[in-house]
Amino acid sequence: MGKRFVGLGAVLAAAAAIAASPAAAANIDCGPAGGIVTGTVTGSVTVGPGVTCVVAAAHVGGLVVQPGGALVMLQTTVDRSVQSNGAAWIVLAGSNTVKGSVQIVGTAAIPPGLSSNAICTTAVAGSLMLSGNTAPFLVGCAAGAGNTLGSALISGNTGAVTFQFNTVTGSGLCGGTITGSGNTYGRKLGCP
C-alpha cells in the first residue's frame, strides 16, 4: 500500500483561500521575510535562504529558483523550470504545471508537521531530477495524486525516496534505495 501525504488537505485548503493578485510583477524575491506570491509574475520567483515562500494560484513566466529557504507551490503554472539547490524543504502539490524541468538537489529537512518533502499532482513536461537530497521525498502522494513527468532521474539521495502512482512518458532512471508502486513508464531502469 502506498504512503499518503499527511496534511495535503490542509495545504490545499490554504491555497484555495489565497486570492490572486490583480497586477503582474516582473521578478519576485521572497525574502528576507518570506511571503505569498499569487497572480502573474512575468519574470522569475526567487526563494532565498532562511525564508518560507508560498507560490499559489500563480502564473510564473520565468523560473522558480530556490537557492535555500522553504517553498510551497500550489495550483501554479511555471513557463520555464523549478530549480532547487540546498533548500530547507519543498512541497509541490495541488495541480501544478511546469513546462520545463524540476531539479531538486541537496534538500536537508522536511516541512513542519509532515513526514517528507512532497511532489504531488504536478505535471512536468521535461524531467524530474532528485539528487543528493538527505531528507526524505514522497513523489506521487496517493492513487489519483501522482504526477505526470516527461522523464525521471532519481539517484544519489541518502534520504528515503518513495516514488508511486506516477506516469513517466519517457525514461525513468533510478539508483539507490527507492520504494513505490503504481508507476507507468515509457522505459525504465531501476525504478519501482
Within a domain: residue 57?
yes
Within a domain: residue 19?
no
The mean predicted confidence, pLDDT, of the chain is 88
DSSP three-state, residue 9:
helix
Within a domain: residue 9?
no
Q: Given this model, what pLDDT does residue 102 score?
A: 98
- Averaged pLDDT for residues 146-165: 96
Within a domain: residue 3?
no
Q: Given this model, what pLDDT does residue 85 score?
A: 96
Q: Given this model, what pLDDT does residue 144 score?
A: 87
**Rg (the chain; Cα; Å):** 15
Within a domain: residue 171?
yes
Burial of residue 106 (CB within 10 Å: 0-12, 13-18, 19+) is middle
- Averaged pLDDT for residues 31-52: 89
> Does pLDDT of 168 surpass 90?
yes
- Averaged pLDDT for residues 101-130: 97
Q: What's the domain count of the chain?
A: 1
Within a domain: residue 29?
no
- Averaged pLDDT for residues 111-128: 97
The lowest-confidence range among 14-23, 27-36, 49-58, 129-138 is: 14-23
Q: Which residues pair with 188 in a beta bridge?
A: 172
Within a domain: residue 20?
no
What percent of the chain has pLDDT above 70? Answer: 86
- Averaged pLDDT for residues 103-112: 97
The grid cell for 104 is: 531538486
> Does pLDDT of 95 surpass 60?
yes
Within a domain: residue 25?
no
What are the φ and ψ backbone dihedral angles of 14, each rounded to 5 degrees? -65, -40
For 87, the domain range is 39-189
Q: Given this model, what pLDDT does residue 24 score?
A: 67
What percent of the chain has pLDDT above 90? Answer: 75
Which of 104, 100, 80 lies closest to 92, judged by CA? 104
